[in-house]
Amino acid sequence: MVFAKGKCTTLSVSGEKYTCKAVVYSHFKNGRTAWQVAIPDGAIMLAGGRDSQLDPTRYVLQIDTLRAGRGDGSSQPYKAQGTCTAKLSADGVYLHSLSCSATNGIEDVQIEFFGDGTPVDRKTL
């Protein structure tokens, strides 16, 4: 897991606006990858199994699942489509920005996040 501190200039779920101070990037053993952001009483996860990084400073994840997490630990997955594009330093130490747009056909998620200039925090579980 990689934690990046910063600020969302846009974080909306179907028009409902939220704030954020960090995003989390996770890569799982089954090959799937996700970006997560906390919202009141839960979190939103944008996940996919296809990505590309032709340039070390630009990473693109194709979103195929939105997962709405609740404060009680439960969550609900939804088939979705969209992309998340991260701009980072060539060495991966700094996340400069993250831009995500995804929909499940009913709900839309928009994220515009800007890092605060501090190095990302890498954790292994």
For the chain, give every domain's residue range: 2-122
Is the pTM here over 0.85, yes or no? yes
- As a whole number, mean pLDDT of residues 48-53 equals 95
The confidence score (pLDDT) of residue 125 equals 62
The letter for the amino acid at 68 is A
Rounded to a whole number of angstroms, the distance between the first and last alpha carbons of the chain is 8
Q: What is the mean pLDDT of the chain?
A: 94
Q: Are strands 33-39 and 58-70 parallel, antiparallel or unpaired?
A: unpaired
- As a whole number, mean pLDDT of residues 65-81 equals 90
Q: Which residues contact 1 (CB under 8 A, 6 or more apart)?
A: 24, 25, 26, 122, 123, 124, 125
Dist. CA 31–CA 49, nearest whole Å: 6
Dist. CA 16–CA 38, nearest whole Å: 14
| 12-26 pLDDT tens trace | 999 999 999 999 999
The letter for the amino acid at 71 is G
- Is a pLDDT exceeding 90 seen at residue 41? no
Q: Under a CB-based contact definition with an 8 Å cutoff, are residues 11 and 39 in contact? A: yes
